[in-house]
Chain A
């Protein structure tokens, strides 16, 4: 019998066909009858791997790099007759050119060429020969064909078969002659399940209660219970956060903090409610485009916005928008497709059949988006907000009820205002000439408005000069506009999407004579937003003693730089278009045309331009008029927009918008209006969340030569790669949404496999395909290809339910086995790829810290919310270690002990505890963490503040709750860390440690208290339970326990 190494994938014309384990008869390949002499499908894949690794870089999909016009990744080309013969002649290795070249002894003949650094070893050559002899049966790369459910193999020894997983694994073990281990003991299994499903160890009480359940399905009951725990979502979100390159800061030089925890919570929540994985993908790629998209679905698109943002001084914003786009592509490739699509950013992929044009076809789906921020609210804020909106609605309803004639009155009012002059003035828009110099960049948009982008100084003045043909200039209008690329839609660039305009000034001179321009006094300013004077928001503290305020529009023309005009009228309704009109003291008449310069002094930002402290204008438009008798339109832009629509065609929403403004006018509505204002004042602030939103105007996508954004070539339309599933387009659906559905289509060949493989990797340390980031041609061959396919199809058959997948895996014998290796296993399978033993691995960085917090009882189990700041050495966040001074306000309250998932993550200064244990920093998508084992890790668990505080807390808990005798207490602390009872040997070591430490401080109670981190008063409150030196002893024991390999290991 042929020895089975890998499974068989073999093609018919249309479908992948799974045949039993070995080919030994005539089989159909691409419709041809080929005599394949005992050449198994797995071997065909091995041949393909050789061709890919050794040949494709010169004879593969990349046309430009192709040598000798020979292509070996396509069957047609590889088998076609050439001038010099057949590259591959089935059945005849000696007559096949590739085999002749591979085995040539001539230096300039042999392939691959010696200078490539690649060569074939004798076994590989032999395999090539056998393959060609066997008729060179062709197969496309396995992962490019959608999985179908393979038959479950029969095995000789069915003792350990609990579900189909075990059949596939047992089959392979039998081939390799390895015996599987027996099931691990109960306590080990329980701790394993807790750590795998929730990331936390069981408490001793939980452990006791589970161990007392002797029913045969007790493990499955536990799995269900753990999957229902909110901590399940926290544990598994981490995997996705890595893949989604999640961090709480922008990266690059400024590395400013950002608020993206709402997206992180969305992920946790999605896992907890078992959002089907296909929907999970759709919402993250295009949640904003779903019909009746909810806030939560919009927030889901934060996935695509986890890219870094560069606002370093002097950057070209478009360059770094493109960098972010490349990053998004890479993240989609690694995290969803499991393919290295970013290789085709600069040229055709060298190994996979992905052309550069196809790469930009995918790019085009994502390119037509705004990089927006939306308001996000905690559940508590969400309730408050709903309350405010309800109060406003009810008050307005009441008004309508009390004034049944409101429609008539409103219509009358509309007629009146239409006759008014203010809005009829003919304004001429100024289109200043802008260059790319300066720190903050400005762009002139089509409508004449100016958009600020890039670096954001916190105190600066900018001048905009434009020539106008208007012969007489009497007033200037400044319109502030929304823009989806601004924070919270603008109109400003501050974290609130607002601004402070410190001074507004105008200089006018004759056209062509810049030296003659004169400053013109402004005598009147009006605006539709005139908030009362307020002390400047502390976010813009400039560390001076100057009292800076914001207030009505007059503050922009009072020659006082410390006062500024803002349109901030409170949370929830300030991010709207506004305007101001400035009337000049005397009209300026320049018959030859004028050069007008507007100076915008924006000095209401904070002291640190490396942080989020700008208070600048975001998008604005300047216009001039010859008339002096003008005021700003008192009717807000949104209302004006609604009024512009024919009354018969207005939507309910538009009528409501008009009503909300109109009701502020009749004096008799004063009381209710005041009530409404009061309600608005209770609106929560919320935070911002980076999301994607659809651009109305298409932005063309070009193929970029060498991936250089300065070298756009032909326009590329949206489209998906030919070698993957077909995209079923449905009319009227936005392209990005179609793309999202394509990614998560049942026929997508890699989507389910990729996530199933990563879940497997998380349990067993290595995926069924070891290269989780690449399932393409260059990937490592799967250890159990049929199992991967079976699991993937089963996963999709069960509604893409990850919880179902977890249940399936954890219920297998493969998962439940003891992890203790036998010599034979170590020898034949040192890395446990065949899974004769259970998984044993150090938990992830977050788990290391979470275990210490849980075992000591310090853990604050609150789920979700803004990121937290556990103890960290302050100097890390200050120059010269950090580029800019960062704020790390160490939490002293309950947030000090939250799960590590919630730790604030600065990309440029990763949280050291987690980084030391291999947590990625979020620069790029990561789907496979390293697991290192270093002295730095030892220093962390020995000496880092949280670990020391955990040891002290556990020591205290031990004397308080752990019984009286040393034996009882040692056992108590041991079980909290390791979920098992200590051996006699282990107890002896612990008790000796306790005794030695207690003795060493017995005569020095100050020292004992210091070690125990406790005050004398607190110790005396322990009553008779422990003396200071005894407590110190148990703290020392706890410290030992929290540092054990087993404590941070899933056994």
Chain B
């Protein structure tokens, strides 16, 4: 048996070693995974209370946004039909684009020298701010004064997987941490019984870049996004196996932790204390996750506001779940909705997509606002690139286009009711207040309280950043 003296000494030693670790090695390694995430409630493994890389941390300077909800419109929505009104494109419909625009331009499917295609939908000025929006977005029009529209986005990639990876990790090459992972690395999480970075997908397909879109890259694996789904087990392996009821599960957990505790006492490795805590959290998650997912508890008017229906998986349900997660302290929620790759069937697909998403996105912003959560939650809407002003196929499709596209943001320190940037008359190139993907990332990190130059992680001898070697905060977007 250890004497009290020994125990005290070992406690001090652990504290010292952890401090050393934190100071010497930055925020920490994966081995420290999820340690005292549970320590608030769990105190039996008394001698070992190691530091946890997921503990909520303060950023470089006071943050405007604490949380992110990123509505990722995978497939790349047409800026020309949704946000970026181009009367000149109507005028030149059916004509070839000016040759100088096409110099060095590469298209995915079409011969770039294809005819221009006029926008398919009408635009009008909405809200007090007079923002211009397409008739496809009647709901968003009601919160035009809450959102900031960026019409001058540009990116480097024009194929889905590399462009999605770039938009989510700041690099076209795989293996880098995602935006959500960086946020977790910098801020930790406030959620005690849910993962800090949760991902959903809806729509026709999964995102092109797969898991790497929410991967932790070279950051510790605890910062990986965790996929949830809105049918069946929300988290993989959440349900007890057949024949195991709650009592047996609880007794199992008790037995496991008891034996782990004996072993901890005998070998003194703090890693065992972490394991005990992890099992406790897993057990709690078995209750909390289904509770979280149960949107039938929401009042009718809220469900209607989103267009959500309990038991019927949809983007709308995911939006509502995103709000519930933010309420429970989840740091970052990313909803992938892959539906926007309109090489053809542009008109009908856009109508359908906007029907599926416009109301829910709008409801999310409104709902966050009415709960006082919008101020601290940054909502981002956008895809991986835009669509060509030139036609693909007959007269109802557009190809991939990286030179100009639009996004919107709301809440979390974003100046509401503004439009920034502009593309040229044909919507081909971003020309005014250009915002590259790296600039967007710098801005998001700024809103979270980070200098994007200083939020770094040493890997392979180099201090890596989300913004690679570029990025400037878009000051005009800041409230």
Interface residues of A (CB under 8 A from B): 117, 251-253, 255, 308, 310, 312-316, 323, 326-327, 334, 340, 343, 350-351, 435-439, 710, 771, 773-774, 776-779, 819-821, 823-824, 826-827, 830-831, 840-842, 873, 875, 879-884, 907-910, 912, 915-916, 918, 921, 923-924, 930-940, 942-944, 948, 983, 985-986, 989-990, 992-993, 996-997, 1000, 1007-1013, 1032, 1036, 1039-1040, 1043-1046, 1049, 1051
14 A-B pairs whose Cβ atoms sit less than 8 Å apart in the complex? A253-B160, A340-B460, A343-B461, A435-B111, A821-B269, A826-B14, A921-B211, A932-B222, A938-B282, A942-B240, A1011-B242, A1039-B252, A1045-B275, A1046-B260
Instruction: Closest B residue to A347 by CB, please name it.
Output: B469
**Interface hits, B233-248 → A, CB 8 Å:** 233, 235-245, 247-248
When C-beta atoms are compared, the residue in chain B nearest to A251 turns out to be B174
B259 touches A940 (CB 8 A): no
Out of B20, B222, B462, which one reaches A343, CB within 8 Å? B462
Contacting residue for B243 out of A327, A931, A1011, CB 8 A:
A1011
A996: B residues at CB distance < 8 A: 248, 251
Interface residues of B in 198-256 (CB under 8 A from A): 201-212, 215, 220-222, 226-227, 229, 232-233, 235-245, 247-249, 251-252, 255-256
Instruction: Identify which of B160, B266, B286 contacts A312 (C-beta below 8 A).
Output: B160
Q: Is there an interface contact between B282 and A1011, defined as CB atoms closer than 8 Å?
A: no
Q: CB distance B241 to A1036 under 8 Å?
A: no
Query: Given the complex of chains A and B, what is the CA–CA distance between A836 and B174 in angstroms?
Result: 39
Q: How far is the CA of A1049 from the CA of B206 in the complex (A)?
A: 36
Q: Which one of B25-33, B146-154, B367-375, B471-479 is at the interface? A: B25-33
Q: Is B267 an interface residue (CB 8 A)?
A: yes
Give the chain B neighbours of A823 by CB distance below 8 A.
6, 9-10, 13
Which parts of B294-309 form the interface with A (CB within 8 Å)? none
Q: Per a CB cutoff under 8 Å, which of A830, A883, A924 touches B17?
A: A830
Q: Are B243 and A935 in contact (CB under 8 A)?
A: no
Pairwise interchain contact A313-B461, C-beta atoms closer than 8 A: no
Query: Could you give, for residues 351-387 of chain B, a 1 whenever the CB lies within 8 Å of some chain A CB and a 0 otherwise?
Result: 0000000000000000000000000000000000000
Q: Is the CB of B255 within 8 A of A842?
A: no
A908 to B162, CA, bound (A): 13
Q: Is B175 an interface residue, CB under 8 A from the partner?
A: yes
Residues in B neighbouring A1051, C-beta threshold 8 A: 267
User: Which of B63-71, B101-109, B320-328 lies at the interface with chain A?
Assistant: B101-109
Closest to A1032 in B: B243
Instruction: For B215, list chain A residues within 8 Å (CB).
Output: 921, 923
Neighbouring A residues of B278 by C-beta, 8 Å: 933-935, 937-938
Interface presence of B57 (CB below 8 A): no
Given contacts A948-B241, A1036-B251, 13 further A-B contacts (CB under 8 A): A323-B173, A437-B107, A773-B459, A830-B18, A921-B212, A930-B31, A935-B279, A935-B282, A937-B278, A943-B240, A1000-B248, A1039-B252, A1051-B267
A72 to chain B, nearest CB (A): 16
Q: In the complex, what's the smallest C-beta–C-beta distance from B31 to chain A, in angstroms? A: 5
CB closest residue in chain A, given B216:
A930
- B69-99 Cβ-contact flags toward A at 8 Å (1 or 0): 0000000000000000000000000000000
**Quick check: B174 and A943 within 8 Å, CB to CB?**
no
State whether A940 touches B237 (Cβ < 8 A).
yes
Which of B162, B204, B233 is the most central at the interface, judged by chain A CB atoms within 10 Å of its CB? B162
Q: Which of A253, A310, A343 has the most CB of B within 10 A?
A: A253
User: How long is the Cα–Cα vector from A323 to B156 in the complex, in angstroms?
Assistant: 14
Q: Kindly identify, within residues 384 to 417 of chain B, every residue whose CB is under 8 Å from any CB belonging to chain A.
A: 399-400
Q: Is the CB of B251 within 8 A of A880?
A: no
The answer to whether B125 has its CB under 8 Å from any CB of chain A is: no
Q: How many residue-residue contacts, CB under 8 A, span A and B? A: 297
- With A251-B174, A943-B241 already in contact, the answer to whether A933 and B338 are too (CB < 8 A) is no
Q: Report chain A residues within 8 Å CB of B16.
A: 827, 830
Q: State whether A908 touches B209 (Cβ < 8 A).
A: yes
A939 and B237: CB pair below 8 A? Answer: yes
Does A935 contact B272, Cβ atoms closer than 8 Å? Answer: no
- Minimum CB–CB distance from B343 to chain A (whole Å) comes to 8
**B258-302 vs A: 1/0 string, CB under 8 Å?**
111011001111011011101101110110000000000000000
Complexed CA–CA distance, A340 and B463 (Å): 13
* Alpha-carbon gap, A1007 to B241, bound state (A): 12
Q: Is the CB of A944 within 8 A of B237?
A: yes
Cα separation A1044 to B258 with both chains bound (whole Å): 10
Determine whether B161 belongs to the interface, using a CB cutoff of 8 Å to chain A. Answer: yes
B34 lies within 8 A of chain A by Cβ? yes
The reply to whether the CB of B454 lies closer than 8 angstroms to some CB of chain A is yes
Distance between Cα atoms of A930 and B255 in the complex (Å): 28
**Chain A residue contacts of B106, Cβ below 8 A:** 316, 436
Contacts of A916 in B (CB 8 A): 236
Contact check: which of B158, B269, B461 meets A778 at CB < 8 Å? B461
Q: In residues 101-148 of chain B, which contact A (Cβ within 8 Å)?
A: 104, 106-111
Complex-state Cα separation, A776 to B399, whole angstroms: 45
List chain B residues, Cβ under 8 A from A1013: 242-243
**B158 vs chain A, min Cβ distance (A):** 8
- Name the residue of chain B whose CB is nearest to the CB of A439: B109
The closest CB in chain B to the CB of A1046 belongs to B263
* Residue pair B281, A932 in contact (C-beta under 8 Å): no
Q: Are A1010 and B243 in contact (CB under 8 A)?
A: yes
Whether the Cβ atoms of B161 and A312 lie closer than 8 Å is yes
B471 to chain A, nearest CB (A): 15
Bound-state CA distance A37–B283 (Å) is: 61
Judge if B453 is at the interface, Cβ distance under 8 Å. Answer: yes
With a cutoff of 8 Å between Cβ atoms, the chain A residues found around residue B108 in the complex are 313-315
Shortest beta-carbon distance from B388 to chain A in Å: 11
Which chain B residues border A1043 with CB–CB below 8 Å? Answer: 252, 256, 279
B21 at the interface (CB under 8 A from A): yes
Given A312-B160, A830-B21, A1011-B243, A883 contacting B272 (CB threshold 8 A): no
Contacts of A710 in B (CB 8 A): 104
Interface contact B255-A1040, CB-CB below 8 Å: yes
**CB-CB nearest 3 A-B residue pairs:** A908-B210, A778-B461, A314-B108
Flag whether B56 is at the interface (Cβ < 8 A).
Answer: no
CA of A1048 to CA of B286 in the docked complex: distance in angstroms? 23
Tell me if A117 and B453 are in contact (CB < 8 A): yes
Residue ID in chain B nearest A610 by CB atoms: B205
CA distance A1008 to B249 in the complex (A): 14
Contact B34 A934 (CB under 8 A): yes
| Residue in B6, B221, B263 with the greatest tally of chain A CB atoms within 10 Å | B221
A993 contact set on B, CB distance < 8 A? 251-252, 255
B197 CB to closest chain A CB (Å) equals: 12
Contact B338 A908 (CB under 8 A): no
Of A255, A316, A826, A1008, the residue contacting B210 (CB under 8 A) is A255
Q: Which of A313, A992, A1036, A1044 contacts B260 (CB 8 A)?
A: A1044
Contact (Cβ within 8 A) A943 B207:
no
Closest to B18 in A: A830
Query: Is there an interface contact between A314 and B400, defined as CB atoms closer than 8 Å?
Result: yes
Smallest CB-CB separation from A992: which chain B residue? B255
What's the minimum C-beta distance from A563 to chain B, rounded to whole angstroms? 29
Q: Are B259 and A1040 interface neighbours, CB within 8 A? A: yes
**A390-B209 Cα distance, complex, nearest whole Å:** 48
For the complex, give the distance between the alpha carbons of A289 and B307 in Å: 63
Across the interface, do B260 and A826 meet the contact criterion of CB distance under 8 Å?
no
Q: How distant is the Cα of A250 from the Cα of B168 in the complex, in angstroms?
A: 20
Map CB proximity to A onto B326-344 as digits: 1 under 8 Å, 0 otherwise.
0000000000101000000
B206–A1007 touching, CB < 8 Å: no
Asked whether B461 lies within 8 Å of A779 as measured between CB atoms, the reply is: yes
Question: Are the C-beta atoms of A1045 and B272 separated by less than 8 Å?
Answer: yes
Contact (Cβ within 8 A) B205 A879: yes
Task: Give chain A residues whose Cβ lies under 8 Å from the Cβ of B456.
Answer: 117
Q: Chain A: which residue is nearest B220 at the CB level?
A: A930
Tell me the bound Cα distance from A985 to B271 in angstroms. 21
- Closest A-chain residue to B6, C-beta based? A823
A939 vs B158: C-alpha distance when bound (angstroms): 39
Cβ–Cβ < 8 Å partners of B162 in chain A: 252, 310
Tell whether, in the assembled complex, residue A989 and residue B259 are in contact, meaning their CB atoms are under 8 Å apart: yes
Q: A923 contacts which chain B residues (CB < 8 A)?
A: 174-175, 212, 215
